[in-house]
Amino acid sequence: MTARLTEAGLLLSPIGDVVQLKACDFCDGEKGESIPLAEELNRRLGGLKVPKELKIGFNGCAMACYGAVTEEIGIVYRRGTYDLFLGGKKIGRNAHPAQRVAEGISPGEMLETVEQVVREYAEQGHPNERFNKFFKRVKEVAGFAYSDERKPVIEELACGD
């Protein structure tokens, strides 16, 4: 099963208990610097079987207007590097943003780290266990320690920064 870029620029993946990449539209492609990395990530992980549906939010700038920082795994492109967020919960009375676990990591490091996170979840998650619950239960994923604290997301930046 392959994902594809829609006319709006969104990457779509198969549905079900699989990894889905949920990218922004990169301002209709005008801020498309990170699109190749989004496509590479989708090539590596899109459609991979996991214990429960797992959305990876991928936003092409620090505005993060498609809400990557509230997804179970969130990636935000920023000045040639990536910030990584883990364990968000979008829905429900206890909804909360994800935990910021890394800032300013290189493209290669981002790909390897996200692959490792997903691999650990696929191998150690219980059936139907969402990633945010898994992270809370195991307390450490890919070397990142779980924390209940949610630090504010970097400083507000103008669109494009």
Question: CA 93, 18, 46, 82: dihedral to nearest 10 degrees?
Answer: 30
**Sole window of 43-51, 53-61, 82-90, 145-153 interacting with ligand SF4 (rule: CB under 6 A):** 53-61
Q: Does 24 bind ligand SF4 (CB under 6 A)?
A: yes
Asked if 76 and 68 touch (Cβ cutoff 8 Å), the reply is yes
Which is closer to ligand SF4, CB of 39 or CB of 144? 39
Residue 70 binds to ligand SF4 (criterion: CB under 6 A):
no
Piece in contact with ligand SF4 (CB under 6 A), picked from 22-30, 41-49, 84-92, 114-122: 22-30
Nearest to 24 by CA among 40, 38, 43: 38
Pick between residue 35 and residue 141 the one whose CB is nearest to ligand SF4: 35
CA distance linking residue 132 with residue 53, whole number of Å: 11
Q: Which of 51, 57, 60, 97 binds ligand SF4 (CB under 6 A)?
A: 60
Are the C-beta atoms of 146 and 139 separated by less than 8 Å?
yes
